[in-house]
Structure 1
Amino acid sequence: MPTPSASSSRVMIVAFQGWSDAGDATTEVLQHLGGMLDAEVLHVIGAEGYVDFQVHRPKIMFDESGKRVLEWPDTRLFGPVQRPGRASESAGFARIAEPTSPESGTSGDEAAGRPEGTPAPAAATDSDTVRRIDGSPVTDLFLLAGVEPARDWQNFADEIVELVDVWAIDFVIILGSMFSDAPHTRPIVTTVTSENEARRAETGAVRSNYEGPAGISSVIDLALAEAGIETLSLWAQVPHYVHSTPSPKASLALLDKLEELLDIVIPRGELLVQANEWEANINRIAEADEDMSRYIRKLEESRDEELAAETTGDAIALEFEKFLKGGPRFARDLDFPAGSPDRAASPDPSPNANTGEDEDPPAPDQAREDPTA
């Protein structure tokens, strides 16, 4: 059976806080998309049994009636809901990282975190809505947000496979971001990989040859592939020397690639301003630190050399061959010279990947997690 194009598929975008979310780049992408889609909580995978609550603690807060309630670090699926007589209403999910629904497998007012019968907030304006190239709104995009579980990964992955089947998802994109020897002054490098040959031909993705430590994203990717569900893994490289702050520039790079992969238009909102401020702030810090400035110049020289190598005759021939085989959306940023510091590799060397604990950022020469999932 032919593979449906990404633009005509029911697509789920997945991201987890923790190991595979360097610079908060992936969770910011889901947060950004969540504020522009008319969607509700469709299902909740409870944190109990999966999440270490000493690492990701529940939060106590007041609900709309003034009652104190606990909000658990559950994994939530967000998607569109159509109700008779309420087609014009929206239950937007701008708080995607912290939805308030305590129930699993629910939808509607309660799943959206509102008392039953409470009117939904107004829909986003046209200029703040994710749309297709022809201007029509996107109504078949789903988001799965959560924290990386600390234990029982296989059962967790099985729940996600079942979720994809129940909601008839055609295609899954797994987001990741990793700390890398990448200069903040150059465009953020993204990599796209897939185990599915048809998807590789359509998108210009490559098949990963990585072997080494893996995170929950890899476990989910393999579980979905085994179940016959097509996936793409999209990763961004984040400068490791600015690990203590969010990286809006990396989030923008992921959104750029999502637009290309899905043939949709995603408004950038304030992310462009935030990315410019982020880069300007790092420049100011570097100007006052000669060692940091020298190190950044070395990274810039290395990156520029790689870009120059891509313009050689062999590189151009390879790119043209990829274009002929994979169509116009081939990825120029997937082939790195052997030994390159930015060659796709593992984003985190933590030996405690299965604990769910946040680790200090890796040194530039340390192994990093599988960027294929």
Structure 2
Amino acid sequence: MERDRLVHIVDEVPGLDDRTALTMVLVLDGFLDAGNAAARAAQHLIDLSDGPVVATFDVDQLHDYRARRPPMTFARDHYTGYDAPRLVVRLLRDTGGTPYLLLHGPEPDNRWEAFCRAVREVVERLGVTRVVGIGSVPMAVPHTRPIALTPHANDPSLLTSDSPWRGELRIPSSAQALLELRLGEWGHPALGFVAHVPHYLAQMDYPLAAAALLEQVEIAGRLTIDLSGLRAEADDRDAEIAAYLADNSEVAEVVAALERQYDAFERAEESGQSLLAADQPLPTGEEIGRQFEQFLAGLDGPEETDQEGRG
């Protein structure tokens, strides 16, 4: 029945009828978004070209409201607003005017298989020829080294770079990963990139990772994206981090230990020797978390206010 449909697609989308290639960028907020990198990347695309919504998913069938409660506004004695979660597909254009799609919103909490079938309908109805997903995960890496990325694809010919991983890993699944798998089974090309975000910065906005992801979207999606604003944000954030480290030697030493471990790992990889440096102990996540607690609060927390009660 129509009311049970998970996605509503507009009947006519101008400018797509004669397209021989159409990329759809995929960003699902929640699980794969350390440093808010993927969500920030999606917002950057919308800021550059805020196009019309061409498909809307029925979030009521996909969202667990008790697990992820949407925010509301309460003004003195009444409710004034409700920020309903939205999972939509937008039609955007890159710097050169090339159209592409952006599927973005909260990751479905349930009905993943049904969600995949709904996305398949979007792909086939709108003529999508390639889906490019992006995400980010926290890793024990220093922010002073280049952003590493893990590429993946449902067709090896789609890969644009080598994976840093060897062998197999058992990982928690996600709707985004399942979608890539299912699209491959249905004959639709899909690939993606996961940025490695320093785990001590994973709870704050990290625009450098967002820029790194969009650089890969440009290559894989054959698009041109203006990243100047995002790179300026990344420079500002790096300056804030550097200033903090200059005034906090204990925290700086923790980062330096990560740098030594990272460099030792890189040398071992190049020489084909052991991947672990015996004399370079890696700081634990708990250690770094304790050292950076004030740092994170200082950069992203609210302004200090007077906490004394007024009777």
TM-score bracket for the superposition, by shorter chain length? 0.7 to 0.9
The amino acid across from 1:26 in the alignment is: A
Cα offset, 1:74, TM superposition: 2.0
CA gap 1:156/1:266 in 2 versus in 1, 3 angstroms: same
Q: Which residue among 267, 272, 280 is the counterpart of 2:231?
A: 272
TM-score of the superposed pair, with normalisation by structure 2: 0.72
CA displacement 1:11-32 (0-9 Å, x = unmatched): 1110111111111100111111
Structure-1 separation of matches of 2:255 and 2:81: 47
Q: Which residue among 226, 230, 248 is the counterpart of 2:189?
A: 230
Cα offset, 1:302, TM superposition: 2.3
Structure-2 separation of matches of 1:212 and 1:363: 22
Q: How does 1:303-318 map to 2 (within 5 A)?
A: 303-309=262-268, 312=271
> Which runs of no fewer than 5 residues in structure 2 stay unpaired?
1-18, 75-79, 278-284, 288-311
Tell me the residue number matched to 1:137.
Answer: 97
Structure-2 separation of matches of 1:213 and 1:253: 24
Identity in percent: 24
Structure-1 separation of matches of 2:149 and 2:270: 19
Tell me the residue number matched to 2:134.
Answer: 175
Tell me the residue number matched to 1:53.
Answer: 65
CA gap 1:267/1:44 in 2 versus in 1, 3 angstroms: same
> Which runs of no fewer than 5 residues in structure 1 stay unpaired?
1-6, 62-67, 81-128, 316-336, 341-361, 365-373
Structure-2 separation of matches of 1:17 and 1:33: 15
Tell me the residue number matched to 2:161.
Answer: 204
Higher relative contact order (CA 8 A, sep 6+): 1
Structure-1 separation of matches of 2:264 and 2:276: 13
CA gap 1:263/1:153 in 2 versus in 1, 3 angstroms: closer
CA displacement 1:3-55 (0-9 Å, x = unmatched): xxxx9731111011111111110011111112223621001102102112231
CA gap 1:56/1:8 in 2 versus in 1, 3 angstroms: farther
Structure-2 separation of matches of 1:268 and 1:187: 17
Bigger helix fraction: 2
Cα offset, 1:285, TM superposition: 2.5
Structure-2 separation of matches of 1:164 and 1:196: 17
Tell me the residue number matched to 2:221.
Answer: 262
CA gap 1:262/1:8 in 2 versus in 1, 3 angstroms: farther
CA gap 1:38/1:229 in 2 versus in 1, 3 angstroms: same
CA gap 1:46/1:234 in 2 versus in 1, 3 angstroms: same
Q: CA RMSD in A?
A: 2.9
The amino acid across from 1:57 in the alignment is: P
Tell me the residue number matched to 1:32.
Answer: 44
The amino acid across from 2:221 in the alignment is: L
Cα offset, 1:56, TM superposition: 3.8
Cα offset, 1:257, TM superposition: 1.8
CA gap 1:70/1:143 in 2 versus in 1, 3 angstroms: same
The question of 1:19 aligning with 2:31 is answered yes
Greater Rg, structure 1 or structure 2? 2
The amino acid across from 1:34 in the alignment is: I
Equivalent residues of 2:265, 2:275 under 8 A apart: no
Structure-1 separation of matches of 2:60 and 2:71: 11
The amino acid across from 2:65 in the alignment is: F
CA gap 1:247/1:58 in 2 versus in 1, 3 angstroms: same
- Identify the range of structure 1 (173-182 vs 70-79) with the bigger mean alpha-carbon deviation: 70-79
Tell me the residue number matched to 1:298.
Answer: 257
CA gap 1:60/1:228 in 2 versus in 1, 3 angstroms: farther
The amino acid across from 1:27 in the alignment is: A
CA displacement 1:141-194 (0-9 Å, x = unmatched): 110001012222222222112221111111111111001112111111112111
Tell me the residue number matched to 2:54.
Answer: 42
Tell me the residue number matched to 2:117.
Answer: 158
- Helix, strand or coil at the partner of 1:48: helix
CA gap 1:58/1:158 in 2 versus in 1, 3 angstroms: farther
The amino acid across from 1:274 in the alignment is: E
Q: How does 1:212-251 map to 2 (within 5 A)?
A: 212-251=171-210
Q: How does 1:179-194 map to 2 (within 5 A)?
A: 179-194=138-153
Cα offset, 1:209, TM superposition: 3.2
Structure-1 separation of matches of 2:266 and 2:131: 30
- How many equivalent residue pairs? 254
Equivalent residues of 1:14, 1:172 under 8 A apart: yes
TM-score of the superposed pair, with normalisation by structure 1: 0.61
